[in-house]
């Protein structure tokens, strides 16, 4: 209770800095400086609002007296709707929550069965594809290069073995090999 009193005194002391008359704070030097002389309402308005405030406080104090008996009433439909927040929580529990649970189960099944199966299938396909590429590289590409190298070595060996010393023999053999290579390339 003490902090509220200190806070109230602090707020009330703010009026002192701007106006010496707390009932007519709009006549302060600050308001006059900023807005000029404001128009005043009827004089009775202040007293009526203060009287209504005092009556309201008195009514609350009178109603909350400790000795007064309480009357039990059943809440009306509007009170029940208000208390139950228009039954939105119940609606949410009966509709949105079960739907969300079913969607969660469906997405879990889809993830664990369909997507994981697809990922496993694609990864196995990549492994098989990599093995096929390795086979093609080893036996087709490297085999072709190594085969051409072996062929060139054998042809060179074939051309160099009979050393007759006659240039015409070397020339005829080189021409025969060239015609043979061109024929293979044309037929391929």
55-109 residue pLDDT tens: 988 888 887 666 655 666 777 888 888 888 888 888 999 999 999 999 999 999 9
Residue 3 vs residue 14, higher pLDDT: 3
The residue-averaged pLDDT of 139-151 equals: 88
Domain locations in the chain as residue ranges: 1-39, 93-187
Q: How many CB atoms lie within 10 A of CB 18?
A: 14
Question: Residue 37: left (phi > 0), alpha (psi -120 to 50), or beta?
Answer: beta
Q: How many CB atoms lie within 10 A of CB 111?
A: 10
* Total-model pTM: 0.33
Environment class of residue 23 by beta-carbon count within 10 Å: exposed (0-12), middle (13-18) or buried (19+)? Answer: exposed
DSSP state of 138: I
Which residue's structure tokens are 């529990």? 93
pLDDT at 126 over 80: yes
Helix locations, the chain, DSSP H: 2-18, 29-35, 43-63, 77-83, 88-91, 97-109, 116-135, 142-160, 167-187
Structure tokens at 92: 């949410």
pLDDT at 129 over 80: yes
In 3D space, the residue among 33, 60, 27, 18 whose CA is nearest the CA of residue 46 turns out to be: 27
CA-angle at 135, arms to 187 and 152, nearest 5°: 45
Query: Angle, nearest 10°, between helix axes 142-160 and 167-187?
Result: 160
Q: Which pLDDT does position 34 carry in this prediction?
A: 73
Q: What span, in angstroms and rounded, lies between the C-alpha atoms of 145 and 152?
A: 11
Q: Which pLDDT does position 164 carry in this prediction?
A: 65
Which residue's structure tokens are 């007064």? 68
CA-angle at 162, arms to 160 and 164, nearest 5°: 110
């Amino acid at each position: 209770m003490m902090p509220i009193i200190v806070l109230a005194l602090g707020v009330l002391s703010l009026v002192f800095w701007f106006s010496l008359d707390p009932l007519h704070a709009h006549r302060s030097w600050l308001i006059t400086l900023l807005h000029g002389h404001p128009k005043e309402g009827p004089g009775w308005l202040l007293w009526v609002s203060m009287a209504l405030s005092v009556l309201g406080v008195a009514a609350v104090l009178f109603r909350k007296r400790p000795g007064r008996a309480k009357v039990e009433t059943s809440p009306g439909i509007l009170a029940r709707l208000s208390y139950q927040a228009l039954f939105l929580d119940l609606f949410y529990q009966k509709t949105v929550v079960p739907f969300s649970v079913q969607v969660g189960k469906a997405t879990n099944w889809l993830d664990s069965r369909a997507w994981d199966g697809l990922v496993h299938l694609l990864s196995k396909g990549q492994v098989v594809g990599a093995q096929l590429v390795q086979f093609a590289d080893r036996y087709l590409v490297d085999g072709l290069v190594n085969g051409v190298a072996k062929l060139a070595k054998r042809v060179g060996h074939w051309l160099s073995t009979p050393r007759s010393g006659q240039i015409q023999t070397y020339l005829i053999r080189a021409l025969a090999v060239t015609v043979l290579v061109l024929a293979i390339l044309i037929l391929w």
